Amino acid sequence: MSSLFNVFDIAGSALSAQSLRLNTTASNLANADSVAGSEEKTYKARQPVFAASLDMVSQDLFGDNVDTPGVKVLGIVESDAPLKMDYQPNHPKANEAGYIYKPNVNLMEEMANMISASRSYQVNVDVMESAKTLMQKTLNLGQ
């Protein structure tokens, strides 16, 4: 039964990773229209980088050391897609040449990311729920 405890660690790591992904999506969508006067100051779309986690070592039921798996977020990268430039000389943020810079947030991609993240989150909640039921049944053995 003790290896069922690992399920909580694994699904927990996924919940945390997916909620972070949802956070970056929310941030990207919120800043989709934040214009700026220079390329450096413009908001750039942010995406988390996921990797399979292998650094947590524990003992499994078979008695040997195993890597307690899961998912971890390596970091958040900014998109290097080109920014959108608009010629709006009357805009208060416009630079000397009369251009404003718009973020490189792709709304379609962000919506797809949002749906994918929330579905993945739900799946992992279901996994946790099942593991919880199994453990409760095991604890009530013989009753």
Contact 89, 100 (CB under 8 A): no
First to last CA, the chain: 17
| Min dist. Cβ of residue 136 to another protein (A) | 11
Other Cβ atoms within 10 Å of 104 Cβ, number: 18
Regarding 24 and contact with another protein (CB under 8 A), the answer is no
Regarding 123 and contact with another protein (CB under 8 A), the answer is yes
Regarding 62 and contact with another protein (CB under 8 A), the answer is yes
Report the interhelical angle of 2-30 vs 107-139 (nearest 10°).
160
Query: Which stretches of the chain bind another protein, using CB under 8 A?
Result: 1-4, 6-7, 10-11, 13-14, 17-18, 21, 50-52, 60-64, 66, 69-71, 116-117, 119-120, 123-124, 126-127, 130-131, 133-134, 137-138, 141-143
